[in-house]
Amino acid sequence: MGNIRPTFIKRSAVELLKRYPNRFNDDFQNNKEQAQLLADFHSTDVRNKVAGYITRYYKVMSGRE
């Protein structure tokens, strides 16, 4: 079974990827830093969930997983 994430996490992550496709990669630490720079999240938990979803999404879309 996979993780079930709220829609706003997915929506935020996909929007960041569409706007800044070359700023993200399959490294969580990089994605966390980039998400912090590019968006204003109200908590670190939300930022980390968005960065984690970006990492997972990037890996799946690039065929590495």
Whether 47 shows a pLDDT value over 90: the answer reads yes
Confidence of residue 49 (pLDDT cuts 50, 70, 90): very high
Measured in degrees and rounded to the nearest 5, phi and psi for residue 11 equal -65, -45
**Each residue's pLDDT tens digit, 12-36:** 999 999 999 999 999 999 999 999 9
pTM assigned to the model: 0.89
CATH for 7-62 is 1.10.60.20
d(CA 19, CA 38): 10
Whether 61 shows a pLDDT value over 90: the answer reads no
- The upper half-sphere exposure of residue 19, i.e. CA atoms within 13 Å in the direction of its Cβ, equals 10
d(CA 18, CA 12): 10
